[in-house]
Amino acid sequence: MGEATDEPENDAGFEGITASLHSKGREMTHTNRATDIDAAVDIEERRYIEANPVSKSMFRDAGFYLPGGSSRQSLYFDPFPLFLARTNGSRVEDADGHEYIDFTNDMTAALYGHSEPAIVGALRDALSNGMCYGGPHAHEVALGKEICERFSSIDRVRFCTSGTEANLVAMQLSTVVTGRRRILAFDGSYHGHMCNYLAANMPLNLEPDRMIFGTFNDTGGLDALARKHAGEIAAIIVEPMMGAGGGLMADRGFLAALRATADRIGAVLIFDEVQTARFAPGGLQSILGTEPDVTTLGKFFGGGLNFGAVGGKAQVVERLSPTHPETLMHGGTFNNNVLTMVAGYAGLRQVATGSGIRALNSRGDELRERLAHIAAAKPVPFVPGCYGSILSLHFQETLPTTPREIRTPAALRKLYHLFMLNRGVYISRRGAINLSFAHTEDDCDRITNEFEAFLDAYGHLVS
């Protein structure tokens, strides 16, 4: 159960479990367990449908205007998603009037929780000066300076409006500065809705034929690919912790090998820190000790408003300067939206400070230990993954290091998800826990207790 992004589910884990069962006897065991999980899902699904008639009818009506009733496919789940009416702090309330503790936090974008007072205050002040300037302003410079000061690998930063856009710009920019065309990425990675490598066939991906795919954390495989395609590769793009792919941390050695390979073959190394920038003021790169040429940012950096950014070495990002002799035109009406710039700056300066981030990560680490302790006492095979304030839940013995090693079946994820929703805990189908600055100790106690309740009710289906 990896998570924390804005993308569809990776169900590779289910294929993994099927593939791992060879003997006839074990197939029987698996079949019986799958039937039992389906029966349990039926029970939780019926409860869910009965409890949420307003969401159900809103979802049906939405389908008359929005494709599949949805503006953002990652928020869809069956039988129908909850329609939300309001949010505050660590809570969300749905259209049927139920309150939930929110551990989805808008797929990590709501790092500050909902309506964080410092951000709301800054937005109120900014609104009195208007909201759509249409000219350069001090707020974009302030946020840009803050980002450059936080990331030692970032000399210049260009804003855009989403993480997807940031990654597309980073990849295109790399092709221009290197004069090459191909991009090396990793199976199971997610860099946005048009650079989505969670599965092989994603027809909306841009230029699929230029992609080359390696295996995450496989340094030997990387060497072979680099040798074969050395003169063609413009960029290597990687998430230092694969979010959607299952919450998998990159080995330090793997990232160092990416750096050495990029240097050797003359490619641009791009770190997608859209999710992972929250782990330290200078991003996960500052923890894992490898610096990329280009870093892409998104989600919480906009303080809860639309955001994307491409930052990096001056020699690469300066190509986006309008006064560069070989300038590359890159625009975007809302790139310097004043409200985003103000919210992003207020969040970084007043909430996501060095000490704030450290405290939030420690809270995540404690929660990880508590969950592991509960599962071990049952005992249920379980290992929590990810880092600090993002927790992925894997109902298996060992921590996966590549997407292929994820074994949690999709039906079990659905069971866990509906169980939690039915008990007032808002999580996504992937089941991850995304902590925000608004969470309290009580909130963490609550999810710990509900996790234990899940294992008491359905732990026998997990082994």
Q: Tokens for 46, please give them.
A: 């019926």
CB of 89 to ligand PLP, least distance (A): 23
Residue 274 DSSP label:
T
282 vs 292: CA distance, rounded Å: 12
* The one among 6, 140, 187, 218 contacting ligand PLP by CB under 6 A: 6
Residue 140 or 272: which CB sits closer to ligand PLP?
A: 272
- Footprint on residues 141-200 left by ligand PLP (CB under 6 A): 162-164, 167, 190-192
Nearest residue to ligand PLP by CB is 163
Segment 195-199 long-range contacts (CB within 8 Å, at least 24 positions apart): 195/164, 195/167, 195/168, 195/171, 195/237, 196/7, 196/8, 198/7, 198/8, 198/10, 198/244, 198/245, 199/10, 199/12
170 vs 161: CA distance, rounded Å: 14
* The one among 13, 283, 292, 298 contacting ligand PLP by CB under 6 A: 298
Residue 7 or 218: which CB sits closer to ligand PLP?
A: 7
In the block, which residue shows the tokens 């609104």? 127
Q: Tokens for 216, please give them.
A: 């995450």
CB of 191 to ligand PLP, least distance (A): 5
How many residues comprise the chain?
463
CB of 219 to ligand PLP, least distance (A): 21
Exposed e or buried b per residue across 359-382, where buried means at least 16 C-beta atoms within 10 angstroms of its C-beta: ebbebbeebbebbeebbeeeebbb
Contact flag: residue 5 with ligand PLP (CB under 6 A)? yes
* The one among 239, 293, 443, 450 contacting ligand PLP by CB under 6 A: 239
Binding mask 64-103 for ligand PLP (x = CB under 6 A): ----------------------------------------
Task: Identify which of 268, 282, 255 has the alpha carbon closest to the alpha carbon of residue 316.
Answer: 268
* The one among 107, 154, 255, 418 contacting ligand PLP by CB under 6 A: 107
* The one among 248, 274, 310, 455 contacting ligand PLP by CB under 6 A: 274
Helix (H) or strand (E) holding 123: helix 117-127
Contact flag: residue 344 with ligand PLP (CB under 6 A)? no
What residues line the site for ligand PLP (CB under 6 A)?
5-7, 107, 162-164, 167, 190-192, 239, 243, 272, 274-275, 298, 308
